[in-house]
Structure 1
Amino acid sequence: MSTPSITPKTPSRRFLLIAGATGTALAIVIAASGLITRAVSASANAQWSGSNAVPTVNLAKPQVGQASAISLPGTIQPFQKAQLYARVDGYLKSWSVDIGAPVHAGQTLAVVDAPDLDQQLAAARGDLAMAQANYRLATLTATRWSDLSQTGAVAQQVVDEKAGDREAKRAVVSALQAKVRGIEALSAYKRIAAPFDGIVTARKTDIGALITAGSNGQELFEVADLRKLRIYVQVPQTLAAKLKVGQQATFTLPEQPGQTLKASVAAISHALDPAARTMLVQLQAANPGNVGAGAYCQVTFDEPAAASNAIRIPATALIVRNAGSAVAIVGPGNKAVIRDVKLGRDYGDAVDVVAGLSPSDRIVDTPPETLRTGDAVRIAAPAPAKTKAGA
């Protein structure tokens, strides 16, 4: 039995033309859709890039005619202070005051036992008594020889010798009297006394301690007058030139926050420290009653309002360059302008500009590093004011 042959059916020419046209149209549609999508995306990217190429900047708030003030650290010292040393050698016999005790001028603080000095005084008084006795005898002798000379019984030479001996004995008496007075004056220093009214701030000796006279010995006491204070401040050269004796200032203490005390400039050294370029200035102030010697304080010097052409701006608005300082301002058409300025006093977080700006300039705060003159900028909208709770 034979197998029948199968002849494949060939598509018609019309079918092939329709199918080809349909595929071509579909390809054109897909390609056109891709081109349109890419064009839209490119346009959006261009718009986004153009929008972000213009930096948004904040404007600084300049201040005109502000008063200047500078605060500097100071050291408080008593108006008077004395370290007391012994004037005589010996041993400390007793002391009667301790640290913190108020004393008045001439009050006894301690007594030194000086037996060697006592013996010197006794010997000097004995020598004086002997000299006085010799002088009395010489005076009688000279008087008798003078009477005998009236009768011609003795030569005038002998009379003159006796008179000279009397004067010599008188000179010895005078010298020994001065010696006794000197030792008595030195003996008075066995009593250590307060030189002025004040407070004992240190006692550095005790009973039985060996005492050596002079500043090479041990300091015994320290007395300070704290009713009035001296405040010492190292002032920068730029400020020191403007200070005058009698100028008012204020100072604060860390242990008394919020309390401001008054002081006045009492002395200016008129000599700059070559290393720090600062000048020592002394102020004086009344002690409110609880400030001790050596205390730290913060002294504030106030100055009149700055000149009318000085504009105070935040330090963050400065552009520091090798050629000098500059600021960026927003000019017409919101175009940036980099302008050179001349600076005045630096306050740390702010600085005075004395030339290069006007009060109407729109100053850029924290300008971008890449900002150049002519660049377009966008000014940021001001932050909304905070409303009070319950308003």
Structure 2
Amino acid sequence: MSDNHPQPALSGRRLRLAGGIFAAVAVTIAVVGIYMRIDHANDLEKAVESQHVTVKVVSPQFGPSTQELILPGNVRADLDAPIYARVSGYLKTWETDIGARVKKGQLLGEIETPELDQQIMRARADVASAQSNWEIADVTAKRWQNLVASDSVSRQESDEKTADAKSKRDILNAAKANLDSLLASQSFQRIVAPFDGVVTERNTDIGKLINPGSNNGQALFRVVDNRRLRIYTEVPQSFAYLIKQKMPVKIYFPELPGQPFTASVLSTANAIRESSRTTTVELLMDNKNGKVFSGSYAEVHFDLPSSAQIYRLPVSALLFRKDGLEVATVGPDNRVVLKSITLARDLGRVVEVSSGIESSDRVIDSPNDSIVQGDIVRIQGADAQAGDHKKEAAP
């Protein structure tokens, strides 16, 4: 037969074609497998990241160079005298009522003292009797001394008469002293103002029984001099060392809004009261116009220097744990680091922290109560920022 067919060449081409197809399929499978593994790894990474809590962080802020300390205060008059009776009796008259301005020594009221008057009459009689007894004893003693000179009587008898005269003189002096005491008490029938001021209380009326002393009830009158006022406030221990004498202070009164008054520190107790851990501070304020009444409530504003180590944080960043106050911070590896802090002041929405944190700390705001040391967290907005950086770096 003369027919020649190129069968072997055709078979070779088929083999090469099949091999190429096989190789292409293999490469395709490999590429698909690689992409699947990459996608799986990405999905796994996203799944792990999705389990991390997203948190918002804040940075500790330095407080202002000065800090305002606001405290309640009690206002008292510079001079304040409750006036009690020194003698017993009945109120005869009262000359001034509440609100009256009085001068030193001005009559406020008068007490009728019938018992004291009788005692004075009796004392006057005792003085007169003692005076007579002493005079006769003195004359007798002198006569007996003359008789001794003429040896008419013994010296012993003369000495007895002289001693009797001295005894009568002592009785006279005692009677006079008793009368003087009663007369001094009688002077207290007149109740007078101890200084220039205002009558703020009258707790008696005509005919009322009066007992002496301050342990038997209310004062009859009260007189105050409120041209200057003393304001007392209790400063916490943490601020006590900042209070200095003559320091200016602003005073506000609720009944006089928008009208600050200026006072100055007069003195401090220089001691901390154990029951409250505060020290008493006394302020002095001018009140010549009489706008402010004694007994008022005051709001005392101290302008004090701030500590350089005071930081401010939102109160929502605090963690209240059994070991005390803590904050959760984010470390460089995005792990939670718990830090114990010392609170200086609570300002409402913001607190001042005196120790435990630094200005570079990333403090978690509103942390979950279950957050613990070492937890991995994601910072809110960090992923978006990272994506933006990748886009900028892409060609």
Shorter-chain TM-score bucket reads 0.7 to 0.9
Q: Is the 8 A contact 2:234 2:279 kept in 1?
A: yes
Cα separation, 2, equivalents of 1:157 and 1:371: 111
2:302 alignment counterpart? 301
State the 1:269 CA deviation. Answer: 6.4
* Residues 116-159 of structure 1 deviation map (CA, whole Å, 9 limit, x = unaligned): 21121122112212222222222222222222322222222222
CA deviation after TM superposition for structure 1 residue 257, in Å: 1.9
Does the alignment pair 1:175 with 2:207? no
Q: How many residues align?
A: 335
2:380 is matched with 378
Corresponding letter in the other structure for 1:374: I
Residue 126 and residue 346 in structure 1: after superposition, are their counterparts in 2 closer, same or farther (change >3 A)? same
Q: Could you say which residue in structure 2 is the equivalent of 1:98? A: 97
2:138 corresponds in structure 1 to 139
Structure 1 residues 268 and 146: CA distance shift in structure 2, 3 A: same
Say whether the 8 Å CA contact 1:135–1:169 is kept in structure 2.
Answer: yes
Counting only pairs closer than 5 Å after superposition, residues 157-176 of structure 1 correspond to structure 2 as: 157-176=156-175
For 1:167 and 1:54, the matched residues in 2 are separated by 107
Residue 270 of structure 1 aligns to a residue whose secondary structure is: coil
Q: What's the offset of the Cα at 1:84?
A: 1.6
Question: Over aligned residues, Cα RMSD in angstroms?
Answer: 3.3
Residue identity in the other structure for 2:205: D
Cα separation, 2, equivalents of 1:94 and 1:269: 47
Shift of 1:218: 4.7
Distance verdict in 2 for CA 1:269–1:116, change over 3 Å: farther
Task: Give the TM-score normalised by the residue count of structure 1.
Answer: 0.74
- Look up the SS of the partner of 1:81 in the other structure: strand
Give the secondary structure class of the aligned counterpart of 1:174: helix
Query: Unmatched 5+ residue regions in structure 2?
Result: 1-44, 385-395
In the alignment, which residue of structure 2 is the partner of 1:207? 206
Alignment partner, residue 85 of structure 1: 84
Q: Assess if the C-alpha contact under 8 Å between 2:52 and 2:377 holds in 1.
A: no
From the superposition, tell whether residues 155 and 340 of structure 1 become closer, same or farther in structure 2 (CA, over 3 Å): same
| Counterpart residue type for residue 251 of structure 2 | F
Query: CA deviation digits over 1:175-207, x for unaligned, max 9?
Result: 111011000000001011122222211001111
Residue 181 of structure 1 aligns with an amino acid whose one-letter code is: D
Query: What is the CA–CA distance in structure 2 between the aligned matches of 1:196 and 1:55, rounded to whole Å?
Result: 73
Alignment correspondent of 1:388: none
Identity percentage over the alignment? 39
Alpha-carbon distance, 1:255 to partner: 1.2
1:1-391 matched pairs, under 5 angstroms: 55=54, 57=56, 59=58, 62-64=61-63, 66-215=65-214, 216-240=216-240, 242-261=242-261, 262-268=263-269, 270-274=271-275, 276-287=276-287, 289-307=290-308, 309-329=309-329, 335=334, 337-349=336-348, 350-367=350-367, 373-379=375-381
Give how far 1:236 is off.
Answer: 2.8
| Secondary structure of 2:77's aligned partner | strand
- Aligned to 1:376, the other structure's residue is in SS state strand
Deviation at 1:343, TM superposition (A): 2.4
d(CA) in 2 for partners of 1:355, 1:165: 88
Evaluate the alpha carbon distance shift between residue 356 and residue 184 of structure 1 in structure 2; reply closer, same or farther with a 3 A threshold. closer
Secondary structure of the corresponding residue to residue 294 of structure 2? coil
Rate the CA distance shift 1:176–1:57 in 2: closer, same or farther, 3 A: same
Contact 2:103-2:197 at 8 Å conserved across structures: yes
Distance 1:141 1:344, change over 3 A: same
After superposition, give the CA deviation of every residue in 1:43-72 in whole Å (9 maximum; x if it has no partner). Answer: xxx99x989987473746723453233212
1:242 Cα deviation after fit: 4.8
Give the distance between the partners of 2:124 and 2:111, measured in 1 at CA: 21
Distance (Å, rounded) in 1 between the aligned partners of 2:90 and 2:323: 72
| Cα offsets for 1:91-124 (capped at 9, x unmatched) | 1111111111122332211000112211211221
The two structures have a TM-score, normalised by structure 2, of 0.73
| Cα separation, partners in 2 of 1:128 and 1:369, compared to 1, 3 Å | closer
Letter of the aligned partner of 1:352 in structure 2? Answer: E
Contact in 2 for aligned 1:249/1:265 (Cα 8 Å): no
In structure 2, give the amino acid aligned to 1:258: G
